[in-house]
C-alpha cells in the first residue's frame, strides 16, 4: 500500500513518517511511504501521473491550497483512496462534508500524547480497506497476493497471465509492468468472466485483445504481445469475443 504524507510542520511530518515506517518494517506488510511533502503542490504534481492508496493530509497547510482542496483533487482522480485528515482545529472537520470528501479518519494535533496510536489505528484501517478492494468485483481490481503483501492491479491494465518457468509460479503481464508470483492459471481463470484460457499456459484478458488471428491461432493484445490459442479453444474464444458488450473495449 502506497502512502503520501502532506503536513506543513516538518517536525510532525517526520514524526508521523517514523511511526508508519517502523510499523511497516516490523509487520512486513508492504506499506511504503511514496512522498513526504510540506507543500501541497508537490502532492498535486505527484498525482498527475501516479497514484497512492492512502493520504495523510493536514487541513491547514499554510498555503493557498488547503488539505481539503487537495483532498478534493485526490477524490476526483481516485475515489477509492483512503484520506486521513490531521488538524489542530476541530471546527474545520465539519468542512469535510461541505467539500464532499469522504474521510477515513481524523487525527487531532492537540492530542500529541496519543498521536502515535491514532496514526497507527488510521493506517491499519486504511490497510484493511486496501486489502479488501481487490476482492470486490465491482471495483475492477485484481488482488495480486505475495505472502502477506497485496497489490491491487487495475483490471483494465491486465493483458495476460502465463505459466512461469519456475514451478507453481505464473507471470502477470500488464501495461504497468510484469509480476511473477505463486498462483495457478485455474484460479486466475475463475476470477473474472473476461479472463479466458486460450492455451494450457495462457489466460488472457479478452477485453484487451487488439486482433484475433484464427489462421495463425494467436491473439495480439493491445500492448503488442502475442499469445497462442489452442486449436480446441478457437471457437469458444471467438464466441466469447462476440458476446462482449459493444460499449466495452
> Torsion angle of alpha carbons 241, 245, 246, 249, nearest 10°?
-70
> Which tens digit of pLDDT belongs to each residue from 162-199?
999 988 899 999 987 888 888 999 999 988 889 999 99
CATH top-level class of 143-242: mainly beta
Q: Which three cell numbers stand for residue 181?
A: 508470483
Torsions phi, psi for 194 (to 5 deg): -90, -5
Q: How far is CA 129 from the centre of its chain?
A: 11
Q: Which pTM was predicted? A: 0.58
Q: Which three cell numbers stand for residue 69?
A: 482542496
> Which tens digit of pLDDT belongs to each residue from 190-231?
888 899 999 999 999 999 999 999 999 999 999 999 999 999
> Which tens digit of pLDDT belongs to each residue from 95-123?
554 455 667 777 877 655 578 888 998 89
**What are the residue ranges spanned by the domains of the chain?**
2-133, 143-242
CATH superfamily of 2-133: Response regulator (3.40.50.2300)
> Which tens digit of pLDDT belongs to each residue from 130-158?
877 655 554 577 888 766 566 778 888 99
Amino acid at each position: 500500500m502506497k502512502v503520501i504524507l502532506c503536513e506543513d510542520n516538518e517536525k510532525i511530518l517526520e514524526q508521523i513518517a517514523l511511526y508508519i515506517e517502523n510499523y511497516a518494517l516490523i509487520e512486513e506488510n508492504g506499506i511504503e511511504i511514496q512522498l513526504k511533502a510540506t507543500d501541497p503542490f508537490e502532492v498535486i504534481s505527484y498525482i498527475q501521473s501516479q497514484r497512492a492508496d492512502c493520504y495523510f493530509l493536514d487541513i491547514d497547510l499554510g498555503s493557498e491550497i488547503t488539505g481539503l482542496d487537495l483532498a478534493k483533487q485526490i477524490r476526483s482522480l481516485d475515489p477509492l483512496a483512503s484520506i486521513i485528515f490531521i488538524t489542530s482545529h476541530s471546527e474545520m472537520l465539519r468542512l469535510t462534508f461541505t467539500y464532499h470528501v469522504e474521510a477515513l479518519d481524523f487525527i487531532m494535533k492537540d492530542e500529541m500524547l496519543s498521536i502515535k496510536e491514532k496514526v497507527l489505528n488510521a493506517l491499519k484501517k486504511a490497510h484493511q480497506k486496501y486489502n479488501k478492494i481487490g476482492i470486490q468485483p465491482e471495483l475492477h481490481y485484481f488482488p495480486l497476493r505475495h505472502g502477506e503483501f497485496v497489490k491491487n492491479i487495475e483490471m483494465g491494465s491486465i493483458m495476460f497471465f502465463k505459466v512461469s518457468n519456475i514451478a507453481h509460479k505464473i507471470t502477470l503481464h500488464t501495461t504497468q509492468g510484469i509480476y511473477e508470483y505463486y498462483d495457478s492459471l485455474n484460479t486466475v481463470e475463475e476470477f473474472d468472466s473476461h479472463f479466458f484460457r486460450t492455451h494450457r499456459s495462457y489466460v488472457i484478458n479478452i477485453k484487451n485483445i487488439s486482433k484475433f488471428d484464427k489462421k495463425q491461432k494467436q491473439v495480439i493484445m493491445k500492448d503488442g504481445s502475442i499469445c497462442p490459442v489452442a486449436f480446441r479453444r478457437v471457437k469458444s474464444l471467438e464466441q466469447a469475443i462476440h458476446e462482449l458488450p459493444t460499449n466495452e473495449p
